[in-house]
Amino acid sequence: MRMLVYLRKTFVENLREWKILIMALVFGPFFVYMMYAYFGTTTPSYNLLVLNQDQGADLADGRQLRAGAALLSEWEKIAYPDGKAVFNIAVPPSLPAGEKALKNRDADLLLIIPANFSAALKDCLEKKSPLLPRLTSTGDHGNARCLVAGSFADYIALTYVSLLTGVALPLDIDFKKFTETRSLNDFDLYVPALLVLAIIMVLFTAAASIIKEVDKGTISRLMLSRLSTFEFLGAISINQLLISTVALALTFLAAVHVGYRSAGSLPLFFAVGALSCISVIAISLIVAALLKSIFELLTVGVFPFFLLMFFSESMIPLPRLTLFRLSAHTFYVNDLLPTSLTVKAFNKILNFRAGLGDLLFELGGMVFLTMVYFALGVWLFRRRHMRIR
């Protein structure tokens, strides 16, 4: 009963502080529209993986033909009129590693230069054989970036071989469809991270709901009313969960408005969002335990907010520093933030149609981290602000 009364109190107070509430609700949609406008005007670069197996060949005049390396150099030279390179070229350690990068959308296209590439071109030049080498091009037909990258790469390869051999259209490219999925552009892949921004904003609203009781001195009255820690935090969590769900829904609708289409389960998406909101509330409890006033929240509290925003990859991609590996899963340093795991879970659900069974690693990590942060937050808050108990 006390919990319901306090829940009503915090709900009414959030409505009274409508400016903060509106900011929390429109923060996510604002960034969706801003990033959509950004991705609509940038010049794309395509991630090209090249597995050069060419062993070279010795020509009759004593020179060495390294056609594989020369073709790779031609791909590196191609650029837009403004000088920006069309391809970001990398060499995968193995074929399985390259295919894994395609599956994870870390690369757009995988090209394999065969071992006999130079030898076959040498035979063609010396009129010993009319057969030409074959490049293997692997990618996803449903990925528009893959199709564009393939078109650029094919054109450069055909031009190079044509100039080298003097034969028109000499190159046979074997293009393999990698998987059956819908086309995903840069904005589509960025939407899951933008959705998490709406959840991260709960850090401010939840921490403010807690700190204002300390700032105004009403925390002592709440303790005298025999309101338990569980009831106190439970009421705030329910209220913030409601705000977060509305903010997440508005952000998702903003993404849909600009053309984004989800491929996965919306109920599962909102369930993961609710778990992520609870994890952010746990972090906000730690923040509130370390601060004493709303002024401190608006100054010092900005630091943990930006930690969550940037190190959850909600703004920019980050280098992945491995912390440990568990079975086939890798846990990175920034995964210590539950919102980082949320971005991965959202991406799997919305873009790759993942089900509950595909999210066990991310969900397990989020649950564990939420429990740890809540336990630490409760201990710190009771020690600093509820010593009477």
Mean pLDDT (whole number) for 12-27: 84
Check residues 274 and 264 and name the one with the higher pLDDT. Answer: 274
Average pLDDT of the chain, as a whole number: 84
Q: Would you place residue 40 in the very low, low, confident or very high pLDDT band (cuts 50, 70, 90)?
A: low
CATH of the domain at 161: 3.40.1710.10
Would you say residue 238 has pLDDT above 80? yes
Mean pLDDT (whole number) for 263-284: 94
Same-domain status, 262 and 163: no
Q: Would you place residue 382 in the very low, low, confident or very high pLDDT band (cuts 50, 70, 90)?
A: confident
Task: Enumerate the β-bridge partners of residue 331.
Answer: 324
pLDDT at 343: 93
Same-domain status, 261 and 374: yes
Q: Which of 122, 143, 177 is the last residue of a domain?
A: 177
Same-domain status, 148 and 194: no
Based on the structure, what is the number of domains in the chain?
2
Q: Would you place residue 389 in the very low, low, confident or very high pLDDT band (cuts 50, 70, 90)?
A: very low
Mean pLDDT (whole number) for 1-19: 78
Q: Which of 136, 151, 177 is the last residue of a domain?
A: 177
> What range does the domain containing 271 cover?
2-39+185-385
Same-domain status, 52 and 9: no
Which tens digits make up the pLDDT trace of 179-233?
Answer: 555 557 778 888 999 999 999 999 988 888 888 887 777 777 776 677 777 888 8
User: Rounded CA gap, 377 and 67, in Å?
Assistant: 62
The DSSP string of 23-61 is: HHHHHHHHHHHHHHHHHTTSPP-EEEEEEE----EE-TT
Which tens digits make up the pLDDT trace of 360-374?
Answer: 999 999 999 999 999
Same-domain status, 238 and 380: yes
Same-domain status, 77 and 23: no
Same-domain status, 31 and 83: no
Span of 115-124, 163-172, 327-336 with lowest mean pLDDT:
163-172
User: Rounded CA gap, 328 and 101, in Å?
Assistant: 15
Q: Which of 128, 156, 177 is the last residue of a domain?
A: 177
Same-domain status, 265 and 339: yes
Same-domain status, 127 and 23: no
pLDDT at 101: 87
Stated pTM of the model: 0.67
pLDDT at 322: 86
Same-domain status, 222 and 165: no
Question: What burial letters (b/e) apply to 154-165, b meaning 16+ CB within 10 Å?
Answer: bebbbebbeebe
pLDDT at 332: 87
Same-domain status, 217 and 346: yes
Question: What is the CB neighbour count within 10 angstroms for residue 241?
Answer: 18
Same-domain status, 35 and 77: no
